[in-house]
Amino acid sequence: MAKVETGTQNSGDELLEILKALAHPIRLKIIVDLINDEVDAERHCTSFGLTVTKATRSHHFKILKDSGLITHVDRGNRSFAKLRREELEAAYPGLLNMLKSSY
């Protein structure tokens, strides 16, 4: 599991995991939607309008979490996705802007 850490030199393996996660169009859409949201926005996985099964949706969110792109915030019996915006910008400056402008 790749974890993006602020203020550290990131290995190529961490970047590779992020790029693999972003290679799928559904996961890229999720990340771009989160980029376009307000800073620190939290969204339920059903709010992205994905036309996939629950199991497939859960799989995509797990990959995004394991790659370090998002974190999950538990609110009672619901879980919300939150972009790790500050950590990603610190570790990979310009990545989020590039993704936003390319989608």
Quote the pLDDT of residue 103. Answer: 73
Quote the pLDDT of residue 6. Answer: 47
Give pLDDT tens digits for 49-76. Answer: 999 999 999 999 999 999 999 999 998 8
* Structure token digits, residue 36: 């376009």
What are the angstrom distances between the C-alpha of 52 and each of 5, 55, 59, 76, 82?
31, 8, 11, 24, 20
* Structure token digits, residue 56: 């497939």
- The rounded Cα 40 to chain-centroid distance in angstroms is 12
| Average pLDDT of the residues of the chain | 90
Quote the pLDDT of residue 65. Answer: 97
Non-local CB neighbours of 75 within 8 Å, separated by 6+ positions: 42
pTM of the model: 0.87
Higher pLDDT, 60 or 10: 60
